[in-house]
Amino acid sequence: MILESDRGSIRVAAAILRKGGLVAFPTETVYGLGANALDAVAVRKIFEAKGRPVDNPLIVHIASRKQLAQVVHSIPAGAGILIDFFWPGPLSLVLPRSQHIPAVVSAGLPSVAVRMPDHKEALALISAAGVPVAAPSANRSGRPSPTSYRHVLDDLSGRIDAVIKSDFCRVGVESTVLDLTGSRPVILRPGGVSREELERVSGQKIYLAGIKDISKRPISPGMKYRHYSPKAPLYLITGSEYRRRRLISAFEDFYRRRGKKVGVLETFMGGSSILKHDEGLFASRLYEALRAFDRLGVTVILAEEKSTAGIGLAVMNRLRKAATRVLRA
Ligand code: TXA
Ligand code: MG
């Protein structure tokens, strides 16, 4: 069922959630695939529909501070200021899980990730459902996250009950996942809120979970899987700008002479100029571009390494995970 975003449709979607169904809904980051977070049977359907490994925990979405008490067992010191400043917004906090949230939501972990999305229809849906909503990104597992209802239908048509129609997600990459259950705050997944902003607001050093930490102790199980991948192989090109450009031209010549299409991430979006200088806009179009390359049937996708400042940390994290190979020009 494809639903509009008017009040009547939101009510219909909320009723589906309450009855244990699956509804894909837009947020400011990417589309979520929602189920009632208090209903273990409904939550299991999310894993089936996405083909998601059951050891990868979900984020619980809430619409009010009051709902937080249903989801978490306690709120550590230091969380309050982040909640006040960044919610609603693209920051998921990993906190001690309450007994009301079934273990399947968190893949059995004693913690739970929770966030309040900064999106009118998402908040209206969660409020109308009257329950916290567990929602991973609404893509088939391993694919780029969806930023339009069309992407959701491409991946999940026939596997979910409804999708709320929208063509746009403002941020375009997922929320930052920040673990507050340990002795120091650790970013498990960079995202819509930058590390710099978190440090400024909290007045504390914010750590970044490295790949090595992850292999020792899978604190964010999602990080071990290949992710965000388009169908064509993606080569991430690093090195100086001059060398990157030269390698990209050489690739283009090589494939074009053989009658194949090459997708170059930056120039694809038409704008050498704006996208190059507007990291936010680049991030918001990233997944759409990867999916567009698939539709256009490109043979190979070339992406350039970019700065990891601000939102760039999230963008480079996604490109590295999507990459078949990283090539040093
Ligand atoms: O912006 C977003 O976060 C979107 C929208 C829909 O809200 N959701 C999203 O969910 O990206 P998903 O499932 O694709 O990614 C959730 C990430 C995974 O990397 C998962 O491992 C991590 O959050 N995560 C969830 N609960 C966790 C927990 N209790 N401990 C550690 N990591 C957790
Ligand atoms: Mg995801």
Ligand nearest the Cα atom of residue 139? 2
Q: Residue 206 CB: number of other CB atoms within 10 A?
A: 19
Of ligand 1's listed atoms, the one at least distance from the Cα of 109 is 29
Whether 38 contacts 177, CB under 8 Å: no
pTM of the shown model: 0.93
| Residue 272 binned pLDDT confidence (cut-offs 50, 70, 90) | low
pLDDT at 99 over 90: yes
Cα 173 to middle of ligand 1, angstroms: 12
Name the E strands within 135-249. Answer: 162-164, 176-179, 186-189, 207-208, 234-238
Give the max Cα distance, the chain: 62
- Comparing 281 with 59, which gets the higher pLDDT? 59
Q: Examine the pLDDT at 220 and tell me if it is beyond 60.
A: no
Q: Give ion ligand 2 contacts, CB < 5 A.
A: 137
Distance (angstroms) between ligand 2 centre and the Cα of 139 equals 7
Q: Helices 312-322 and 279-296: crossing angle, nearest 10°? A: 20
What is the phi/psi pair of residue 24, to 5°?
A: -90, 130
Q: What percent of the chain is predicted at pLDDT more than 90? A: 79
Cβ within 8 Å of residue 61, ≥6 positions away? 27, 32, 34, 37, 114, 115, 116, 117, 122, 126, 132, 133, 134, 135
pLDDT of 114 reads: 98
The mean pLDDT value of the chain amounts to: 91
* Residues making up the chain, counted from first to last: 329
pLDDT category at 269 given cuts 50, 70, 90 is very low
Q: Report the nearest-CA residue for atom 13 of ligand 1.
A: 136
Q: Tell how far the Cα of 222 is from the centroid of ligand 1, in angstroms.
A: 7
CA distance 259 to 150: 29
